[in-house]
Amino acid sequence: MTSAPAIEAVSLTKRFGAFTAVDSVSFEVSRGEIFGYLGANGAGKSTTIRMLIGLLAPTAGRAVVAGRDVTREPEAVKAAIGYMSQRFSLYLDLPVRENLRFFGGAYGLWGRELQARAEEVLELTGLAEHRDTVTGELPGGIRQRLALGSAVLHRPSVVFLDEPTAGVDPLARRGFWRLIRDLARGGTTVFVTTHYLDEAEYCRRIGLMVDGRLVALDTPLALKRTWVPDRVLVARGRALGEAASALRALDGVHAVEPFGAGLHVRVDPSRWDADGVRAALAGRGGVDVSVDETEASLEDVFLSVVGRTAQGAEEAGP
Amino acid sequence: MEPAIRAAGMAKRFGAVAALDGLSFQVVAGELYGLVGPDAAGKTTAIRALSGLLDLDAGEARVMGLDPRGSGEVRELLGLLPQQYSLYRDLSVWENLQFFARLYVLPRDVFRRRAERLLAITRLERFVDRRADALSGGMYKKLALAAALLHEPRVLLLDEPTNGVDPVSRRELWALLHEFVQGGMAVLISTPYMDEAERCDRVGLAYRGRLLQEGTPADLLAAFDEEAFEVFGGDRDKVEAVLSGLPEVRAVSPAGSRLRVDLSRGGRERATLALAPLGAELRPVAPSFEDLFLSRLLREAS
């Protein structure tokens, strides 16, 4: 049975009154995969997760997680998975080790097994030196690692992480993703939502939701090729406002969007390259910016998918 | 002329911890100032002091020349979006905005016009009738931001306003902020997103309650004299495993499908040698703000 997917959703649907939060979503996640689930706020990501972990009954469709049907055996699903929510709950007035003991107990671990497992998790999450620290005194990034540690104490085969890195600084985010990837290498399936599209690059595959529907699902590279067939240039410099207006006026320039301190410029690859755009800008009285070729980012993909789907181009794929 | 926001030697201890340790900066009207830094840098404490929610041990916090703890006048001038924000959870999106409009005594037509515009920008129009407690974390945040902008304050303080906000809304909110700033608003924003820090007029890099560096993003980057690299070729996981074992490697992170590497001085040669057997090579790229941030923090921490 090693080929059975860790997560299988078939036409999974959730309606709240007249509002369809999740609209016939189907996908599979294989074992040990890091699967990213992206979408705008309110697109239905958290509702999907809540159905997959047996917290919310689907209106229609079905899902099997870790070999159990979420509608028929929600309790078995809850025992087999780990879950870290957007607003994860730790007891802030308890020391780190007490939090682990509490959550371990909630998952049915006790005695020597709990003790041993708590030690392993302290090592895994790099929290051994903080074991006696009162949780509320730890910075947010470390608390986040503890929350993940608490969610994997009972060795779940699948973990669901709902925006685990929101508000975490770049340094702490790197540490957190190292941990996620260690878990996946150990065979744990990771289902993760995030708005940080740079870290979504670590996912093997990514699903993208718009208004309750799963509109794209593929590897990061394939998503870029499909959704951003344009050539992507980056413009940097001081005269960006001027450059943006000049670029938008050019035929075959499809989009000009701020990206970090510069601009991402998407152009028709048969008409423009970096040299051509540079020359065109120089022709306009020398706008003082540099222009280089770059790779499409997942943010370019996200904007392209959301933009095209929201423009009413219902089934119009790329 | 008195700046819109003035922090002068702000100091505040909580027990043994100095949350603010002589923090000073100024923001003028029509300027967007970013306070960036890791956890415990003092960003939130600084914003609380400037909104008059905290007594300082030493130093001064001033908004339009006024002590924010004092007059009711400051409340009219100031918009605040704290990290922990309380909306009425049993009221709908529209009702929450109506409540804030009443608080600031906005005429009905002004309220309607501004509310509709803010709801469009935050993409909350479809959810006007939804109760606040049924909103996702990001939507809740956007509603809170809309509420803080309703009275079009002259000074806006935002404590990590885009945490949990999706990339499309994030862009739109930034466009909105730039628009307000062009209209003369002074905005102080704290953020852990380095791409957002790059979009501020000026940035202060805070660490342990004081500023390490301050300037325009372009000037700070121009003065940054370290190199950043991307790895071309090779298997990403194998490359990362090898790089993680080298002491000169400060940070490895994905940059698109490639890896971006921050090296301490003189690390290039060694990393190049280590990568060669994997068929991978380092190529220098323009340093980003995140490179600068990581480099400064790791230097401070060691």
Residues 78-137 of A with CB under 8 A from B: 86-87
Q: Contact B177/B169 with Cβ under 8 angstroms? A: no
Helix axes B93-103, B108-121, angle to 10 degrees: 130
> Quick one: pLDDT at residue A310?
66
Test mutation, A84, A86, A195, A206, chain B, max B CBs within 10 A: A195
Residue A307's pLDDT band, with cuts at 50, 70 and 90, is confident
Q: Which residue of A has its CA nearest to B16?
A: A137
CB-CB neighbours of B71 under 10 Å: 12
A295–B256 C-beta distance less than 8 A: yes
Nearest beta carbon to residue A168 from set B167, B192, B286: B192
For chains A and B, CB pairs below 8 A equal 118
Nearest to A261 among B39, B127, B217 (CB): B217
Residue B65 Cα, gap to closest chain A Cα (Å)? 31
Extract the tokens encoding B228.
């950043």
Cβ of B135 and A166 within 8 Å? no
Q: Is A20 exposed, middle or buried (0-12, 13-18, 19+ CB in 10 A)?
A: middle
Task: Please give the Cα distance from A251 to A79 (Å, whole number).
Answer: 57
Predicted TM-score (pTM) of the model is 0.85
The amino acid at residue A34 is: I
User: Would the CB atoms of A261 and B257 count as touching at under 8 Å?
Assistant: no
Closest-CA residue of chain B to A296:
B256
Q: Tell me the mean pLDDT in the region A161-184.
A: 86
Mean pLDDT for the stretch of residues A292-302: 88
Q: What is the 3-state secondary structure (H, E, C) of A8-35?
A: EEEEEEEEECCEEEEEEEEEEECCCCEE
Residue A81: partners with Cβ closer than 8 Å, 6 or more residues away: A53, A65, A66, A156, A157, A158, A159, A160
What does the pLDDT read at residue A316? 35
Look at chain B and count its residues: 302
Model pLDDT, residue B170 = 85
Q: Is A96 left (phi over 0), alpha (psi -120 to 50) or beta?
A: alpha
What's the rounded Cα separation, in Å, for the pair B169 and B190? Answer: 17
The pLDDT value given to residue B20: 97
| Selected residues 1-60 of chain A with any CB under 8 Å from a CB in chain B | 39-43, 45-46
Q: What does the pLDDT read at residue A2?
A: 55
Q: Does pLDDT of A202 surpass 50?
A: yes
A54–chain B nearest CA distance, Å: 19
Find chain A residues with C-beta within 8 A of B206's C-beta.
none
Q: How much is the pLDDT for B286?
A: 79
pLDDT classification of A68: cutoffs 50, 70, 90: very high
**Residues in a beta bridge with A52:** none
| Chain A residue with the nearest C-alpha to that of B296 | A171
Closest partner residue to A170 (CB to CB) among B127, B166, B194 is B194
Query: Which of B83, B174, B290 faces A170 most closely, judged by CB atoms?
Result: B290
CA distances from B203 to B69, B192, B289 (A): 26, 12, 11
Instruction: State the pLDDT confidence band at A55, using cuts at 50, 70 and 90.
Output: very high
Most confident of the following: A7-16, A41-50, A261-270, B80-89 = A7-16
Using CB atoms and an 8 Å cut-off, which of residues 149-178 of chain A contact chain B?
Answer: 163, 166-172, 174
Interface of B with A in 69-98 (CB under 8 A): 83
Cβ-contact B261, B243 below 8 angstroms: yes
- In this complex, which of A170, A220, A261 lies closest to B294 when CB atoms are compared? A170
Cα–Cα distance, B287 to A120 (Å, whole number) = 38
Buried b (16+ CB within 10 A) or exposed e, B83-110: bebebeeeebbbebbbebbeebebeeee
Q: What is the pLDDT of residue B129?
A: 93
Q: How far apart are CA A268 and CA B142, in angstroms?
A: 35
Q: Which of B122, B166, B172 to mutate to test the interface with A (most CBs of A within 10 A)?
A: B166
Give contacts of B201 with chain A, Cβ < 8 Å: none
Q: Tell me: pLDDT of A175 over 50.
A: yes
pLDDT of residue A314: 38
Task: Describe the strand order of the beta sheet including A68-69 as a list of residue ranges.
Answer: A19-29, A7-16, A60-65, A68-69
Give the range with max mean pLDDT: A90-94, A191-195, B87-91, B258-262.
A191-195
* Alpha-carbon gap, residue A239 to A260, rounded angstroms: 15
Residue A312 scores a pLDDT above 50:
no
What pLDDT is recorded for position B218? Answer: 86
Task: In whole angstroms, give the CA distance from residue A214 to residue A134.
Answer: 42
B185-to-A74, B78, B111, B154 alpha-carbon distances in Å: 52, 10, 19, 5
Residues of chain A found within 8 Å of residue B288, distances taken between Cβ atoms = 260-261
Mutate to test the interface with B, among A169, A210, A305 (most CBs of B within 10 A): A169
CB contacts, 8 Å: A291 with chain B: none
Q: Which residues of A155-186 are buried (b: 16+ CB within 10 A; e: fewer)?
A: ebbbbbbbbbbbbbbbbbbbebbbbbeebbee
Q: Give chain B positions within 8 Å (CB) of A259.
A: 195
Chain A contact for B9, CB < 8 A?
Answer: no
> CA-CA distance, A127 to A54, in Å (whole number)?
30
CB contact under 8 A, A167 and B251: no
Per-residue confidence in pLDDT tens, chain B, 302 aa: 789 999 999 999 998 889 999 999 999 999 999 999 887 889 999 999 999 999 999 999 999 999 999 877 888 899 999 887 778 889 999 999 999 898 888 999 999 999 998 898 878 898 999 998 888 777 888 899 899 989 889 999 999 988 888 888 888 888 888 888 998 999 999 988 888 898 899 999 999 999 999 999 889 988 887 778 889 888 888 888 888 888 888 778 777 778 888 887 778 889 999 999 998 989 888 788 888 888 888 788 77
Distance from CA of A132 to the nearest CA of B (A): 18
Query: What pLDDT score was predicted for residue B172?
Result: 80
Which residues fall within 8 angstroms of residue B77, CB to CB, at 6 or more apart? B63, B64, B66, B153, B154, B155
Q: Give the model's pLDDT for residue A315.
A: 37
Task: Identify the closest residue of chain A to B171 by CA–CA distance.
Answer: A258
Q: Which of A86, A238, A260 lies nearest to residue B164, judging by beta carbons?
A: A86
Confirm or reject contact between A295 and chain B (CB < 8 A). Answer: yes
Q: A139, B40: Cβ pair inside 8 Å? A: yes
CA gyration radius, chain A: 23
